[in-house]
């Protein structure tokens, strides 16, 4: 098996996504995943959470959202405040047993119908990858807990100990959002912050809500020789965090007329999970 060295995990392959015309059997929509996440998280982006609010946060720490929906922990150590490492090495990958990557999980605070939405999103991801979601056992030290919290958010990559994925009942229980947050937990960042994004899009900072510019900061990424993917469920919409209704993201290629509207993982989202975890090596 070839070694993989990561800074922040991000993969993408350009291709046309095969997605349904609606989110959950409703009318056709062009609303982007990030538009819906942005709306659900509107009151959280400037909020800091105490340890009691985020159960997976280290003791004595506070947490906050970055990039719109990625939760990070800040630890005050002898007066020094620093961001916890979100996903900077292969250690944030989930463990692989044989040919399968096992992700222990539990679901709390949801009705049967709501649980099925989450479960169906996981089943779909499993169908095209070697990721296997398994019920958490007492012996599992690292696991994901799906909670009906405030907003839609996840940590980036596997964290030591239990970690949460928040899926607010009113706003986050859609297949694309569930898969988006799971992909964060598997180690994926947003598409438009990868290291080569300026070769593919123009960020119109003059149109971004004041104080939200850091959501568009380029991350240090290892793209593993893969192309930028406008069809990824991890891509922001054209008007993400717009203060004036004008585009915040403009494709450099005039051939790209729509992006950020995926209603489920694209074929390339599946492919990059398989590459990241060497599913078929």
Q: What is the pLDDT along the chain (281 residues), one digit of tens a residue?
A: 444 444 445 544 433 333 333 444 333 345 677 778 888 888 776 555 544 455 555 544 456 788 889 988 665 444 333 333 446 556 789 999 999 999 999 999 999 999 999 999 999 999 999 999 999 999 999 999 999 998 999 999 998 889 999 999 999 999 999 999 999 999 989 999 988 999 999 999 999 999 899 999 998 776 767 789 999 999 999 999 999 999 999 999 999 999 999 999 998 899 889 988 999 85
CA distance 16 to 41: 29
Domain boundaries, the chain: 1-274
CA distance 207 to 248: 6
What's the predicted TM-score (pTM) here?
Answer: 0.84
Percent helix, strand and coil across the chain, each rounded to 5? 20, 20, 55
- Could you confirm whether 264 is annotated as catalytic? no
CA distance 65 to 244: 23
- 83's CB contacts (< 8 A; 6+ apart) are 72, 73, 74
Please tell me the total number of residues recorded for the chain in this structure: 281
CATH topology of domain 1-274: Collagenase (Catalytic Domain) (3.40.390)
Handedness of CA 39, 92, 190, 185 (dihedral sign): negative
Query: What are the angstrom distances between the C-alpha of 194 and each of 4, 10, 31, 89, 186?
Result: 17, 7, 22, 16, 16
Catalytic residue among 181, 191, 206, 264: 181
């Amino acid at each position: 098996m070839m070694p993989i060295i990561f800074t922040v995990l991000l993969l993408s392959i350009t291709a046309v996504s095969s997605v349904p015309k609606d989110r959950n059997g409703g009318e056709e929509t062009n609303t982007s995943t990030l538009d819906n996440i942005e709306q659900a998280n509107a009151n959280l982006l400037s909020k800091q959470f105490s340890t009691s609010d985020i159960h997976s946060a280290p003791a004595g720490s506070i947490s906050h959202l970055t990039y719109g929906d990625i939760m990070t922990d800040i630890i005050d150590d002898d007066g020094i405040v620093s961001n916890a490492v979100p996903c900077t090495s292969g250690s944030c990958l989930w463990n692989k047993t044989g040919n399968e990557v096992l992700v222990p999980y539990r679901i709390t605070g949801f009705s049967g119908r709501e649980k099925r939405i989450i479960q169906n999103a996981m089943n779909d991801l499993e169908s095209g990858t070697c990721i296997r979601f398994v019920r958490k056992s007492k012996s599992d030290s690292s696991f994901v807990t799906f909670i009906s919290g405030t907003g839609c958010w996840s940590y980036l990559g596997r964290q030591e100990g239990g970690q949460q994925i928040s899926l607010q009942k009113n706003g986050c229980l859609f297949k694309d959002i569930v898969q988006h947050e799971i992909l964060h937990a598997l180690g994926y960042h947003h598409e438009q912050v990868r290291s080569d994004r300026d070769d593919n899009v123009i960020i119109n900072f003059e149109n971004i809500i004041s104080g939200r510019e850091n959501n568009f900061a380029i991350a240090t990424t290892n793209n593993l020789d893969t192309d930028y993917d406008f069809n990824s469920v991890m891509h922001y919409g054209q008007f993400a965090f717009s203060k004036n209704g004008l585009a915040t993201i403009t494709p450099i290629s005039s051939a790209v007329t729509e992006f950020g509207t995926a209603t489920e993982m694209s074929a390339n989202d599946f492919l990059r999970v398989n590459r990241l975890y060497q599913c078929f090596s």
